[in-house]
């Protein structure tokens, strides 16, 4: 095992990680900053996959208070209000930073102002974008800025395995990493660590995140004893491409702007059905549209592949081809004509609202560890508004970069690691080399089915309890399943094994939290408890792992800025 030291270690190279690196470098260019990413810098993760855009209150007819209320009401009164308030305020500053300092170009109106398109669940068209390929624009420009700063070190194709506490257990010492290319273990000691690995609920049959996502960050945090909140809140995007079971393109998201622009959802009988579920039709929030589609599927009113159709042709094929160039091409590659025909879609697991409990400054209960992006919990509550995701990553990634520099100023020394735990984590990672060879992919397929059927769009107690038993059985069999090759170099079966173990650990937390919440809020719907419960006494779930056992508690939501039934008054105008 190699040992490396650095001042700041950033795990993840999405919007949160790259922004943190740039902000930390700007705050103190003399610090050693190290970026570690599971794939290739700028080529992996979910931020570059963002199609829709970036929510920001810039228009004179909009306001940060209005954006805040949309976020709170969309989150069904479960968001951490100070985190949400920081998000909507800092988004104004951050989008200007993206354009003026990072070099992003977003679409504009004829008068030169940034164009905001319609996204579901919002009272104003505030989603700034670059066509329907916004994420590629943001990540490409951020990547250029990071590469232009030689002082930012880079470890590509490095997998984070464990958070290693200090010898006295009072703080974080560093992170155990695995060089995927060589199979070498590396302990990277750091004065401050940012966890920005991204969530990515890829344990569902239909899912949108990139294939490298396996909830590693949350699994590591759980084992380190950190509390996770809102883990039952898995967002299903209503329109995942349904191209059949034999292609990985199935589940790929077709952006919300399609419905925002006036797209129609039709069942197998060509009936536009969303009016049967919500007066807003297709522009209802993601959870409502997903449940409407799921209900049509359960009733058997489906398309040939078992989903429903999205239709855009009534808007004019040429207009659709111009406004949604990326989507039209993606559908064409899978044999569908988005501009002039019908495309089959299905609800697809898209985003985890849950994550590590953190403060507004991105600090966690483990001193020295910070968190930003999808690994952080509390910002979105029960439902994330489309366009708030990439805003979340860049806003809090920047804050984390600034705060880690301040932390190091007050805590300038490296901390000795817990050597016993370090040895245990290495042994844990090597476990499959000590087992007889088995079929890891078969177990992964079993988990996909279990989570979709028992812990999916619609839940109930018997299904969740069945799901927990099946997750336990899958993990038990995984621990008895080995990998076929002792060569650790680019051993992708080993990586699949490690991915699946992280997914099993976090899947269990999702199911436990869903079983605890006996009401229906946003993305979490219990058919046996369909009512939302009393908003004024709202609670969020918090899960910890103590001595090998899960502790699930319900904590009261603090209404620090607005209470249910109230509306935040507009007291400020957005920056021009």
In which region does residue 418 sit, left (phi positive, over 0), alpha (psi from -120 to 50) or beta (all else)? beta
Write down the pLDDT at residue 573.
Answer: 54
Write down the pLDDT at residue 42.
Answer: 82
Q: How confident is the model at residue 256 (pLDDT cuts 50, 70, 90)?
A: confident
Catalytic residues: 237, 259
Please tell me the number of Cα atoms within 13 Å of 218 on its side-chain side.
35
Mean pLDDT of 226-248: 91
pLDDT in tens, 198-210: 988 999 999 998 8
User: Which of 246 and 118 is assigned the larger pLDDT?
Assistant: 118
Three-state secondary structure string covering 148-161: CCCCEEEECCEEEE
Q: Does residue 389 have a pLDDT over 90?
A: yes
The Cα 317–Cα 337 span in angstroms is: 9
Mean pLDDT of 540-544: 98
Mean pLDDT of 491-504: 97
Q: How confident is the model at residue 284 (pLDDT cuts 50, 70, 90)?
A: confident
Query: How far from chain centre, in Å, is Cα 230?
Result: 13
Please tell me the number of Cα atoms within 13 Å of 219 on its side-chain side.
22
Phi, psi values for residue 371, rounded to 5°: -145, 140
Q: Does residue 376 have a pLDDT over 50?
A: yes
Write down the pLDDT at residue 51.
Answer: 79
Domains delineated in the chain: 234-350 (3.90.700.10)
Phi, psi values for residue 207, rounded to 5°: -150, 155
Residue 516: count of CB within 10 angstroms of its CB: 18
User: Which of 244 and 362 is assigned the larger pLDDT?
Assistant: 362
Mean pLDDT of 76-94: 98
Q: Does residue 576 have a pLDDT over 50?
A: no
pLDDT in tens, 423-476: 999 999 999 999 999 999 999 999 999 999 999 999 999 999 999 999 999 999
Q: Does residue 404 have a pLDDT over 70?
A: yes
The Cα 493–Cα 476 span in angstroms is: 18
Distances (CA, A) of 220 to 164, 455, 550: 10, 22, 15
Residue whose C-alpha is closest to residue 290's, from 174, 391, 386, 409? 386
Write down the pLDDT at residue 572.
Answer: 58
H/E segment holding residue 546: strand 539-546
Locate 121 and state its tokens: 């669940």
Q: Does residue 143 have a pLDDT over 90?
A: yes
Of 19-23, 40-44, 71-75, 234-238, the one with minimum mean pLDDT is 40-44
Contact 172, 193 (CB under 8 A): yes
The torsion angle over the Cα atoms of residues 367, 372, 374 and 377, rounded to 10 degrees, is: 50
Q: What is the DSSP letter of 115?
A: P
Residue whose C-alpha is closest to residue 358's, from 14, 97, 6, 87? 87
pLDDT in tens, 319-348: 999 999 888 998 999 899 999 999 999 999
pTM above 0.75, yes or no: yes
In 314-439, which ranges are continuous DSSP H helix? 317-323, 325-333, 388-410, 419-429
Q: Does residue 574 have a pLDDT over 70?
A: no
What does pLDDT average to over the chain?
94
Locate 198 and state its tokens: 């991204």
Contact 474, 447 (CB under 8 A): yes
Alpha-carbon Rg for the chain, nearest whole angstrom, is: 23
Residue whose C-alpha is closest to residue 114's, from 60, 165, 51? 60
Write down the pLDDT at residue 174.
Answer: 98
Q: Does residue 26 have a pLDDT over 70?
A: yes
Of 31-35, 246-250, 273-277, the one with minimum mean pLDDT is 246-250
Q: How confident is the model at residue 119 (pLDDT cuts 50, 70, 90)?
A: confident
The Cα 440–Cα 479 span in angstroms is: 10
Write down the pLDDT at residue 285.
Answer: 83
Write down the pLDDT at residue 575.
Answer: 46
Q: Does residue 149 have a pLDDT over 90?
A: yes
The Cα 45–Cα 118 span in angstroms is: 25
Phi, psi values for residue 437, rounded to 5°: -60, 140
Contact 362, 386 (CB under 8 A): no
């Amino acid at each position: 095992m190699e040992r490396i030291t650095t001042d700041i270690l950033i795990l993840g190279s999405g919007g949160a990680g790259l922004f943190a690196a740039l902000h930390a470098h700007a705050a103190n260019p003399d610090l050693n900053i190290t970026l570690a990413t599971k794939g290739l810098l700028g080529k992996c993760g979910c931020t570059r996959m963002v199609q829709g855009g970036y929510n920001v209150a810039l228009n004179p007819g909009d306001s940060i208070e209005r954006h805040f209320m949309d976020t709170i009401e969309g989150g069904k009164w479960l968001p951490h209000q100070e985190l949400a308030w920081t998000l909507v305020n800092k988004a104004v500053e951050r989008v200007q930073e993206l354009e003026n300092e990072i070099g992003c170009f977003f679409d504009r109106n004829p008068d030169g102002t940034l164009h905001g398109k319609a996204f579901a669940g919002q009272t104003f068209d505030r989603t700034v974008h670059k066509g329907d390929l916004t994420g590629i624009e943001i990540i490409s420009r951020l990547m250029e800025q990071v590469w232009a700063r030689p002082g930012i070190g880079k470890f590509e194709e490095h997998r984070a395995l464990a958070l290693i506490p200090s010898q006295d257990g009072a703080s974080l010492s560093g992170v155990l990493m695995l060089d995927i290319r060589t199979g070498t273990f590396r302990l990277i000691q750091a004065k401050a660590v940012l966890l920005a690995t991204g969530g990515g609920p890829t344990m569902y049959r239909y899912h949108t995140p990139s294939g490298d996502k396996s909830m590693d960050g949350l699994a590591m945090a759980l084992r380190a004893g950190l509390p996770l909140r809102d883990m039952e809140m898995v967002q299903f995007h209503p329109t995942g491409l349904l191209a059949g079971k034999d292609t990985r393109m199935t589940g790929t998201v077709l952006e919300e702007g399609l419905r925002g622009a006036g797209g129609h959802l039709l069942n197998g009988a060509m009936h536009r059905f969303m009016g049967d579920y919500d007066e807003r039709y297709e522009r209802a929030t993601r959870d409502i549209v997903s449940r409407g589609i799921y209900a049509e599927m359960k009733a058997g009113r489906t398309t040939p592949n078992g989903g429903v159709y999205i239709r855009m042709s009534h808007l004019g094929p040429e207009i659709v081809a111009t406004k949604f160039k990326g989507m039209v091409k993606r559908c064409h590659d899978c044999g569908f004509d988005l501009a002039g025909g019908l495309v089959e879609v299905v609800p697809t697991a898209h985003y985890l609202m849950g994550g590590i409990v953190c403060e507004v400054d991105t600090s966690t209960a483990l001193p020295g560890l910070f968190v930003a992006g999808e690994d952080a919990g509390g910002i979105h509550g029960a439902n994330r508004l489309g366009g708030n995701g990439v805003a979340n990553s860049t806003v809090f990634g920047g804050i984390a970069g600034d705060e880690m520099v301040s932390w190091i100023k007050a805590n300038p020394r490296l901390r000795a690691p817990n050597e016993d735990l370090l040895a245990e984590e290495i042994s844990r990672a090597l476990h499959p080399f000590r087992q007889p060879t088995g079929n890891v992919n078969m177990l992964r397929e079993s988990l996909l089915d279990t989570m979709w059927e028992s812990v999916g769009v619609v839940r109930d107690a018997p299904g969740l309890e069945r799901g927990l038993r099946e997750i336990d059985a899958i993990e038990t069999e995984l621990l008895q399943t080995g990998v076929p090759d002792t060569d650790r170099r680019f051993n992708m079966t080993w990586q699949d094994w490690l991915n699946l173990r992280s997914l099993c650990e976090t899947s269990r937390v999702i199911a436990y939290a869903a079983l605890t919440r006996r009401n229906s809020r946003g993305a979490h719907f219990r058919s046996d408890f369909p009512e939302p419960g009393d908003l004024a006494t709202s609670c969020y779930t918090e899960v910890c792992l103590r001595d090998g056992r899960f502790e699930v508690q319900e904590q009261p939501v603090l209404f620090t800025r607005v209470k249910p039934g109230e509306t935040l008054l507009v007291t400020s105008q957005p920056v021009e």
